Amino acid sequence: MNVCVSANVSEKKRVYHKQGCIYERRIKYQNKMQVTEEIAIKNRYRECKYCAGLKGELRAYAHQIDKWKISEHIGTSYDAVTDTLYITTDIGAWKIFMNRKGKYVLFHMNQYSKDMSFYQIKKADYHCQKDVKATDSFEKIMRYIINHDKAKVIIMDDYRKLPRRTKKQKMYYKNAEQKAKRKQKYRVYELFARLERNDPELIKLSMC
């Protein structure tokens, strides 16, 4: 992850900031440098207390999150006790927290209902979203949630409306197509099973 530092400060004031931090914006243009977090630490820069951790991300991305709330209809709730951010969309709920390596990990709720309270959302069962690798990019995680649930809404209508421009989109389309075929196959099987239960004579015909 790239961070911002001031190249012209005393050692006591050596602090690195995430992009978007209010203190990062106060660094004079001629002194501002972008480096990796590893390089900043190696050069004895300390993490900014304002933008550090998940709570710091919420501060740094406050303006963007407000935009997402309007344009993408998401809701956010932060639990300071567990340092966990809960995200709700029109069709799902997610939670983000930071692991010991300083990477964000994403979890998806197993069963979600829009009328659930925040307490119920916190206590619900989640599974790790395995196709999302742990990352130090908060924005990447948020973009994934938004795009994932947008695609789910399209699939509920007709998976054939999914975009197929990028390699990842094509792969997602193929997975949705395979799921639709399996679902259709199960529906046909269930239909015949019901017919046979209602009319045992049909079993003889199916065995001919």
Domain assignment of residue 58, yes or no: no
Domain assignment of residue 207, yes or no: no
Q: Are 84 and 101 in a shared domain?
A: yes
Q: Are 8 and 47 in a shared domain?
A: yes
Domain assignment of residue 69, yes or no: yes
Q: Are 84 and 129 in a shared domain?
A: yes
Q: What pLDDT score was predicted for residue 87?
A: 96
* String of DSSP letters for 26-50: GS-TTTEEEEEHHHHHHTTPEEPTT
Q: What pLDDT score was predicted for residue 120?
A: 95
DSSP 22: T
Contact call for residues 52 and 76 (beta carbons, < 8 A)? no
Domain assignment of residue 34, yes or no: yes
Can you tell me the distance from the alpha carbon of 143 to that of 165, in angstroms, rounded to the nearest whole number? 17
Domain range enclosing 43: 2-51
Domain assignment of residue 9, yes or no: yes
Q: What tens-digit pLDDT sequence spans the chain (208 residues)?
A: 788 999 888 888 899 998 888 899 899 989 999 999 899 999 999 999 998 889 988 988 888 999 999 999 999 999 999 999 999 999 999 999 988 888 999 999 999 998 999 999 999 999 999 889 999 889 999 999 998 998 888 887 787 877 888 887 787 678 777 877 777 776 666 766 676 677 666 555 555 4
Contact call for residues 101 and 113 (beta carbons, < 8 A)? no
Domain assignment of residue 173, yes or no: yes
Q: Are 116 and 180 in a shared domain?
A: no
Q: What pLDDT score was predicted for residue 186?
A: 63
Question: pTM for this one?
Answer: 0.72
Q: What pLDDT score was predicted for residue 164?
A: 81
First to last CA, the chain: 66
Q: Determine the residue type at 13.
A: K
- The position carrying tokens 């990352």 is 135
Q: What pLDDT score was predicted for residue 199?
A: 67
Question: How many domains in the chain?
Answer: 3
The tokens for 101 are 């390596």
Q: Are 85 and 116 in a shared domain?
A: yes
